[in-house]
Structure 1
Amino acid sequence: MMEGNSTAGSFTPSQQFSIADLVVVVVYFSLNVAVGIWSSCRVNRNTVSGYFLAGRDMAWWPVSRDLRPSCDTLGSRDIPPNSLFCAPAFSTACPHFPPPCIPPSARIRIVTMPEYLQRRFGGERIRMYLSSLSLLLSIFTKISTDLYSGALFVQVCLGWDLYLSTVLMLAPDAVHRSRAGGLAAVIYTDALQTLIMVLGAIVLAVKAFNEIGGYPNLEEAYLKAVPSKIVPNTTCHLPRADAMHLFRDPVSGDLPWTGMTFGLSIMATWYWCTDQVIVQRSLSAKSLSHAKAGSILASYLKMLPLFVIIMPGMISRVLYPDTVACVDPEECTRVCGAAVGCSNIAYPKLVVELMPSGLRGLMIAVMMAALMSSLTSVFNSSSTLFTMDIWRKLRPAAGERELLLVGKVVTVVLVALSVVWIPILQSSSGGQLYVYIQAVTSYLAPPVTAVFVLAVFWPRANEQGAFWGLMAGLVLGLARMGLELAYPVPRCGVPDLRPWLLADIHYLHFAVLLCAVTGAVTVGGSLLTPPLPSAWVSRAPGTPRPGPHGCVHPPDLLGRRRRCHPGPSKAKGPPAVALKDATEPPFWARVCGINAVVLMCVNIFCYAYFA
């Protein structure tokens, strides 16, 4: 257990750092910085392509690391600390049931996903809206959650104040490494962290299972993990009876199977196919084969969290129920500084208590570096969105030096806004970081999924329908989000008096409804307005339209361009940018296809086994 002091939320860890731990931390961070400097020297980071897309020359193995942020030991998008003692839901560990898709934009010379939709529909307002929405999501669900989860980890390990730990997460070294090296430095250092982190997580998982006598004893021990101090006349201190099952009641379940099957699939499509953090990594690959192979390796790695993160997190509750499973507000405030619960510290508590000297320091260093690297990934992607989709629209004549400077300045603004948001995040969704992230995502992301799917698979969809579909989805999503902030989840023992829209409609079910409404408005609006011209022109910003004898049709479902034979044109201006050859070697195309089938089979087996 951890001993409290006079400052709420500050405590002294029961395991102190040894000299070996400190040496390992210093050596690891030195190696990390060296890899970042080396990788940043491999590309010309003084150009937009070099800084934002790593020169479009990334091989499949480093790309795969940044396609799987949820496999970070403390990554908060898919597997945050609080979900670590929840049920071993495979869809929670891998909410994208198929492997991450390869966006059509991987075959088009673009930098952001909003740019792809602009070329698909024409106009500017959809691109501007999606870029602004992505920046908001970065603040609400990425930067603030990474800062908070990382600060919690530092707090557990060192006993520091939460906000002092937050400052440590913004160490100048990490920010400088990202800003100096751009995407290349982020990707290569992440690859190093993944290797060490996976090995360390496996060692910790083995030690955790040994502590409780192996996997056969997990379910029995978990159902008995009850804190000593409870709230009288309540059952919130008891573990859920369905904790070892994936399919839970669609009405009373905390993660209803209907919501996980359909709602999480909608949000996973948004994240893996349209989110800038993911798309930017695919666009940095040197070829389509490397982009596919990176996604497949990422999918293989995403099978690990179930066994090396979620189940060890459940064991953490078994071993330390008074800390991890506290329900009394005063006790929780003493333990972790959050009256609503301390489940977020499950995994770092396990690391501090079970890892031997030296390995403890290595795991702490890797996890802190991974969180900071996750932050720098979001910084890079967010600055790309603002710079390329918003600032360049406001200042079309901006040069590369100005664009790079703006990209760096916007990072500082995002950090400031995210730090201000942390207190709200800390008290939202009953203190469960995973629930908060998925809830906010379910209010804002489903409209983007609906429009993206229609844009790819329904040629009749036009700009008017897509825009008003997005606006309708935004209004409904913000209404639900506002109610969520106004009526937070009641604490243990307090009656639930929230409006029926919150109390009776799960946020995952709301995501399905929101996606359906957006799709219906988009289809209706498209059918009621004129279709796109058959010879709709797609062009880079600033490039003149072809003359009447030459045209460029929109991309087909695979992103290929169909060009008619241009005749003489008197249009002046720079020539259109040549597209990169998207052909694949037949052998590697077959290898990727076979592995994709194997992955699907394994996913289906795991889904059925834990149902």
Structure 2
Amino acid sequence: MNITGLCCFLLFLALVAAISIYNTRKMRLNTTTAYFLGNRSLGFWMVGFSLFLTNMSCNTLIGENEFVYTNDMSVMGWGMSSVLAMLIVAEFFLPVYLKMGAITTPDFLGQRFGPRLKKIVSLFFLASYVVSLIPTVLYGSAVALNGLFHVDEVLGISYFAAIWLLVIVVGIVGCCYTVLGGFKAITISDLVQGAALLIGGILLLVFGLRYLGQGSVLQGIETILASKKEHLNAIGRPHDPIPFGTLFTGMFLINLYYWGMEQYIMQQALAARSLSQGQKGISLACLGKLLAPLFLNVPGLIAVHVYPHLNNTATVFPKLVGDVLPPAITGFIAAVVFGAAISTFNAGLNSSGTLFIMNLYKQWRQRAGDRELVKAARIFQIAITVVAMCFSPFISHFSGGFYYYIQKMSSFFSVPVFTVMIVGFCTKRVSERTATTGLLFFITTYMLSQLVFDLPIHYLHVLGILFVATVGLMLLIARYKPMATPYIPKDTAMVELKPWRNRHWFFALLLALMAGAFVLFSKAGIAQ
């Protein structure tokens, strides 16, 4: 990238920062509600774009395009099938959280089962963020930025040293943003960055197809459709890395957990000023997920034809951006990629602070005021950043692919927690002891299945089987040792709970578009 691209990169980042500072200049961050939830004041535009961009990190930009390049479009199943999960969350999960005035998703476990399980799950969440989420976000952003700016070549250092340097830069910038700006500043920047990401995705698609078609977009499309059509198929075969059947087992469970129980995702919806705004925001994020293949998957398809052989397949996305776009647009895309990294990083940091302070520290320091809690949150977030910066560069040594690493690591935490929470949603007599037993049973058996025994079953199918087994175990125990008093939900809502009246029509349209995307990228569509 030349000086023009670098200037565009810096100018766009400065613009986003200026907009965030201007819109939060009068907001005081001296209360936990203001610092963690932006005073529960988000409209649907902020909720939708914040959800969309928090999910759209460098991990997915790099990982999914790498997967398409090395395999096929079956990785699209993660994003497309999440539309159904998100609509279920909007219809059933979000009203429960808002009715009880939850700040964190484990708050539900505390009210439903008791404080011990709430603390255990909060610790699981924090461990997941430290081991999986925050380090992978830093690593993914470093890989993307090095591919765009060629830091290793410019500075004459090794690739590993360049990754480490960029991890430190992103970590420091993101930490300052979170600690100084709070949740509201994050969501405002997400609104701008989300719109820019959609524009950038369209520009990359147009210029990429022109580059492939030697000046003609139509010729580029014809090239993709004419050869190497196995990469166009989103219907994974039984022995592929992502078989299509997993959409209905473990993948569906992970998506439900991710969009309905993952703290750093749900925190965006919990900050909505009403249930209606939250449901509209989730629907807007669903629309973004339907458009996401434009920059998550199609660049990988273009790269299949442009680069027949790549030694480091994780560089597919940044290499294509650097080769096909004019310098000014390359700088713009680099800024969007950087913003996506910062958005997810900030969400992870903010949620880590929320979980630690509200579910652990506050229980220990029961007399602590808001000022002390906010100060402790900032110190904790800085500590988490330092730990993640030390660990994340070593992800490059993981064998099996970057995106595969992300999904495999998250599975150890996600579905076990989801199982306990869904039983809590659907039953009234399962006790805290039974729920804890189910959680430990799931985690232990899943770890054995992945680390000790070599099972001839895809890990997503294993998750589905263990989900059914764990639910059955918990219901069996509850039958003989139920709670003495059935659970009765409490209404402590802090926002308007009237649902979005026209949501079902929009939900049906979104589901139809989701199904159409799978048909398009299949042997019944363009992959025939």
| Common fold by TM > 0.5 | yes
1:465 aligns with 2:451: no
Name the residue aligned to 2:178: 178
- Deviations along 1:376-399, whole A, 9 cap, x unmatched? 111001110111111112221222
For structure 2, the 5+ residue unaligned runs are 152-161, 214-218, 523-528
Is 1:590 equivalent to 2:501 in the alignment? Answer: yes
Q: Give runs of aligned pairs for residues 261-272 of structure 1, distance below 5 A.
A: 261-272=248-259
Q: Does the aligned pair in 1 maintain the 2:85–2:252 contact within 8 Å?
A: no
**1:176 Cα deviation after fit:** 1.8
Structure 2 Cα separation of the partners of residues 21 and 143 of structure 1 = 28
**CA distance in 2 between partners of 1:70 and 1:29 (Å):** 17
Match of 1:505, SS state, is: coil
Match of 1:397 among 355, 367, 374: 367
CA deviation after TM superposition for structure 1 residue 595, in Å: 0.9
Correspondence 1:116 to 2:68: no
Shift in Å, 1:66: 2.0
Cα deviations across residues 454-481 of structure 1 (Å, max 9, x unaligned)? 1112223222221110111122233355
Determine the structure 2 residue equivalent to 1:254. 241
Residue number among 74, 77, 97 corresponding to 2:58 in the alignment: 74
Q: Map 1:117-516 onto structure 2 (within 5 A).
A: 117-121=109-113, 123-160=114-151, 161-172=162-173, 174-210=174-210, 211-212=212-213, 213-222=219-228, 241=230, 243-250=231-238, 252-323=239-310, 326=311, 342-430=312-400, 432-480=401-449, 482-483=451-452, 500-501=454-455, 504-516=456-468
Deviation of the 1:247 alpha carbon: 2.5
Secondary structure, counterpart of 2:223 in structure 1: helix
Deviations 1:526-580 (A, max 9, x none): 223132514x5xxxxxxxxxxxxxxxx325xxxxx3xxxxxxxxxxxxxxxx533
Aligned-partner residue type, residue 60 of structure 1 = F
Instruction: Check the 8 A contact 2:64/2:296 in 1, yes or no.
Output: no
Given that 2:105 and 2:262 are in contact with CA atoms closer than 8 Å, whether structure 1 keeps it comes out as yes
Asked if 1:39 is matched to 2:23, the reply is yes
In structure 2, what is the Cα distance between the partners aligned to 1:111 and 1:451?
Answer: 19
Contact 1:80 1:433 in 2 (8 A): no
Change beyond 3 A, Cα 1:184–1:66: same
1:116-158 CA-partner distances (Å, limit 9, x unpaired): 111112x211101111111111123211111111111122122
| Segment drifting more, 374-383 vs 461-470 | 461-470
Secondary structure (helix, strand or coil) at the match of 2:249 reads: helix
1:29–1:365 contact (8 Å) kept in structure 2: yes
Contact 2:429–2:478 (Cα < 8 Å) also in 1: yes
1:581–1:33 CA distance, 2 compared to 1 (3 A): closer
RMSD, matched Cα: 2.2
Structure 2 length-normalised TM:
0.89
CA deviation string 1:428-457 (max 9, x = no partner): 242x11111111122321111212221112
Structure with higher RCO (Cα < 8 A, 6+ apart):
2
Q: Which amino acid aligns with 1:51?
A: Y
Matched-pair contact (CA < 8 Å) for 1:71–1:302: no
Q: Secondary structure at the match of 1:68?
A: helix
Deviation at 1:284, TM superposition (A): 0.4
- Using the alignment, how far apart are the partners of 2:84 and 2:110 within structure 1? 27
Identity %: 23
Q: Aligned residue for 2:471?
A: 519
Cα deviation, 1:25-60, whole Å, max 9, x if unaligned, reads 221121122122123335331100000000000010
Once residues 54 and 77 of structure 1 are traced to their aligned partners in structure 2, the CA distance between those partners, rounded to angstroms, is 28
Change in 2 beyond 3 A, CA 1:264/1:322:
same
Q: Which whole-Å CA distance do the structure 1 matches of 2:447 and 2:372 have between them?
A: 34
1:554 aligns with 489
Amino acid at match of 2:185: A
Q: Give the whole-Å Cα distance in 2 for the aligned partners of 1:203 and 1:71.
A: 21
Contact 1:73 1:197 in 2 (8 A): no
Select the residue among 503, 511, 515 that pairs with 1:600. Answer: 511
User: What corresponds to 1:96 in structure 2?
Assistant: 82
| 1:161-214 per-position Cα deviation (integer Å, ceiling 9, x unaligned) | 111121121234x32222112110111101101111210110111121231423
The residue aligned with 2:6 is: 22
**Post-superposition shift, 1:351?**
0.8
CA distance in 2, matches of 1:79, 1:524: 41
> CA 1:26–1:423 in structure 2 vs 1: closer, same or farther (change >3 Å)?
closer
The residue number in structure 2 matching 1:87 is 72
What secondary structure sits across from 2:428 in the alignment?
coil
Q: Which one has the largest radius of gyration?
A: 1
Deviation per residue, 1:351-372 (Å, 9 max, x gap): 1111102111111112112212
Q: Is the 8 A contact 2:53 2:190 kept in 1?
A: no
The aligned length equals 498
Moved more, 461-470 or 111-120: 461-470
C-alpha distance in 1, partners of 2:57/2:358? 32
Q: Aligned in 2, Cα 1:98/1:344: closer, same or farther, shift over 3 Å? A: same
Conserved 8 A contact 1:259-1:508: yes
Distance 2:348 2:57 in 1: 17
CA distance in 2, matches of 1:200, 1:179: 28
Report the residue type matching 1:247 in the other structure. I
Once structures 1 and 2 are overlaid, which stretch shifts more, 155-164 or 473-482? 473-482
Q: Which amino acid aligns with 2:433?
A: Q
Cα distance between partner residues in 1 of 2:391 and 2:183? 26
Report the more deviating stretch, 261-270 or 29-38. Answer: 29-38
Whether the 8 Å CA contact 2:112–2:424 is kept in 1: the answer is yes
What TM-score do the two structures reach when normalised by structure 1? 0.77
Partner of 1:544: none
